Structure 1
């Protein structure tokens, strides 16, 4: 965690000033510069939050990376001077975060407060500016944007294998299937990576625009150079209510509406996929139990239709138990839930050990919590799926994962992984 040197003067308190503004139009079109490290986004169906610049930041590592970041945010937000004329979720001071999947990963975790934040919710729009207290009134949106550079495309894009070739990954899946059939675990979620290289310097706005246009029902995110469009909400905390969207069980779309309806019906009846989904839902319910006074688990999933795939999905909801100091923050809930069976396996601890061996790579922040949190602890955290980590001016590491169970066929899982790589491939090449 970031700390001030011994004997250093106390930092100047930050002022977070939120004012209502006229509808600014498309939120993603407001982003003024291409820098992936200083651009944040959490947008779905045109609503959400975008921001730029860094007013405060903490980097954490190890098993307590989310707990430490949560503690830093409570302290930082508690010292801020807040003037909020809107008072909606996402107004006032907001921190965005992303964290490594594994406690052993060098990727650690980051929580950052943007200098400028623009949001829209329920037909209302606002601007939040964060800076040293005493700088005067909040400037206009135009002044906050400053010099705006045109969005540029990435040029010619090439893709190469990551840690494993497709054939090597299928062999690794076959070995995991044999372990599952031996009774050691029930499910292991296997990920693979692909490296994209661009002909021109990457403009994160190009990626975000394409992802939002192609996957409007997903949460289009950008935090600390991690970019993607996730269909899976790990947890939302909103005024005492808790919600999670669980996805497990996938089938690829054909592009033919009639055929896709038949495939959706097959997915809803698939014993393999229903079993995989049941394990994922049970892991979420078990993790939420200690933090909720009550919660609801649907009896059966619905089929979520996305442009490239269809998933079995369940929305688990609960009421936060506030008997202990107001209850845990949204990030604390995300830490308690991660990793779910949907991204790790069942039993999760052993499955995560197996996938770390079988994948032969560090996932970094793929399939881990990504999202935002307000000063009151409310916020939304997704699972960083359908995503890529910008690793250089002209390189992005793309990820996709598949739930492996006893009935899995390696070639079919490879095809599924290709379907799940489509969003990021398409966002780069469109």
Structure 2
């Protein structure tokens, strides 16, 4: 279903407790999965009852206003009261104001979720067009609904095999582009800029996209494995997570490869933690986040020094930020305030964006844009679309990976960093 003006749609969502112990991913649609999972828990959506499409510089404000209007008139029966139960829209937004990519909010017909040992099904319809189950009034402690109340689960097909190949920017082109970025930093045009390169592959048009999501979720369990409107990935970087007016964000900037053995790995972590180049890059990112959030919160705290976060393929410098939201703010308002962070754009933001538009010979699309979900209360979880790929209906896959460039960046080393960041998608296709 295409988007409608807020006044033209009145949605009804009924959430029911179910018995469900197995994986959630099998409930998603194989061709158009809607997924937000971490360590096996989260939500998957099936079908589409409403879609909102947004473009340009006002895309976040338009989406926030539209969703607020829909949520205000929605009929929601949710005895579960877990993150992701009730009325939920999955969302994915373009990185740049000028992007040709469409930003979307998608409300599924059915959502299957699990959190803290409680599983549920939410069925969503346009109010007045269908009957809803009286089981909606069950409390989480009541007898669970039989398994046949769940939507159909289908076996996940074989994952498609393909090899990523450099696309618009060759490796040499990328090294040269980073060199030009360093020159502009030394000239004082920017303090930091994130330069990305793209890679492509082709998979069968009828391939089961859930297989790629499952590979990413299994390999990177601490990330949010996501699939929204053809964008599939596993992001380590939480943009913002909101629940009951409290929010948290994790800032990642500065990274290095994992070591080949325990000693080498420990040395790599220590080197990252003491690298002035990486510490400076990280501080840019943290200050960008704090500055953006202050108008929308009543309190904000951040750890005094970054910690090293271990992922299967690399170490990151990380800082956690905790917030208390102002009464009139929602998750989408915070997303709008935060994007783009210095971790994916640079600093100062406007100058970095202008330099990205000048140096990168492609449209990033929804790469490095916010992706996640929002519920009727404005709560939700949003990450930055990293370690991801867009898959078109014809099977064309486009992935991106970027590196934060500062004054003492080595272009060859930055190329190596992008290779590490392509690995999650590359490995999922092997």
Q: 1:295 aligns with which of 300, 303, 312?
A: 300
Q: In structure 1, the residue corresponding to 2:163 is in which secondary structure?
A: strand
Stretch moving more, 372-381 or 195-204: 195-204
Match of 2:209 in 1: 204
Q: Does 1:111 align with 2:113?
A: no
Give 1:76 deviation, angstroms: 1.7
Task: Map residues 7-406 of structure 1 onto 2, 5 A cutoff.
Answer: 13-31=10-28, 33-36=29-32, 39-134=33-128, 135-138=130-133, 142=148, 145-146=151-152, 148-199=153-204, 201-322=206-327, 327-406=328-407
Tell me if the contact between 2:19 and 2:119 (Cα under 8 Å) persists in the aligned partners.
yes
Distance 2:102 2:279 in 1: 33
> Closer, same or farther in 2 for the Cα pair 1:11/1:347, shift >3 Å?
closer
TM-score normalised by length of structure 1? 0.93
Q: In structure 1, the residue corresponding to 2:174 is in which secondary structure?
A: helix
Q: In structure 2, the residue corresponding to 1:157 is in which secondary structure?
A: coil
Tell me if the contact between 2:285 and 2:343 (Cα under 8 Å) persists in the aligned partners.
yes
Q: In structure 2, the residue corresponding to 1:361 is in which secondary structure?
A: coil
Give the CA RMSD over aligned residues: 1.9
| Residue correspondences, number | 417
TM-score normalised by length of structure 2? 0.93
> Closer, same or farther in 2 for the Cα pair 1:294/1:65, shift >3 Å?
same
Give 1:137 deviation, angstroms: 3.2
Distance 2:387 2:158 in 1: 20
Q: In structure 2, the residue corresponding to 1:105 is in which secondary structure?
A: coil
Tell me if the contact between 1:154 and 1:201 (Cα under 8 Å) persists in the aligned partners.
no
Tell me if the contact between 1:211 and 1:229 (Cα under 8 Å) persists in the aligned partners.
yes
Distance 1:421 1:52 in 2: 29
Moved segments of 4+, more than 3 Å: 1-5, 10-13, 137-144
